[in-house]
Amino acid sequence: MATIPLNTAVGDRDLCAWQPVRGIVWVQTRNPNHARRLTQREDGKLVAWGVAGGYLKIYEFARSITWAIDLMARYTAAEKATNEALEHAICPEAEFNTVEARK
């Protein structure tokens, strides 16, 4: 896999991830089912959430973006066709989010 630049979001509106710095990945979800699974993980922590404009939670993991892509693929496996790939996400920007989203 090619190197993905920092602050480049991958995934979709329901579940996406990006690396603000090397070695740290943020996973954002708008789906309560994904949030429940992410909350149960011991290797991450909730770093941001929102209520205005809909459900939103962002979790931080000391992992790589490749790990996050694999995680998202596992979480969305039941929701997607077998050969459908993850797309580059257009994650909504929030005022509290200091990470610049890819335009």
Q: What percent of the chain has pLDDT over 90?
A: 62
pLDDT over 50 at 99, yes or no: no
C-alpha torsion sign, points 26, 99, 77, 31: positive
pLDDT over 60 at 22, yes or no: yes
Tally the domains of the chain. Answer: 1
Q: Which residues contact 44 (CB under 8 A, 6 or more apart)?
A: 27, 38, 59, 60, 61
What is the domain range of residue 43?
A: 10-76
More confident site: 95 or 74: 74
Domain annotation covers residue 49: yes
pLDDT digits (tens, 9 = 90+) for 62-72: 999 999 999 99
Token duo for residue 16: 């996406």
pLDDT over 80 at 80, yes or no: no
Domain annotation covers residue 18: yes
Contact of 9 with 88, CB cutoff 8 Å: yes
Q: What is the pLDDT at residue 81?
A: 53
Domain annotation covers residue 101: no
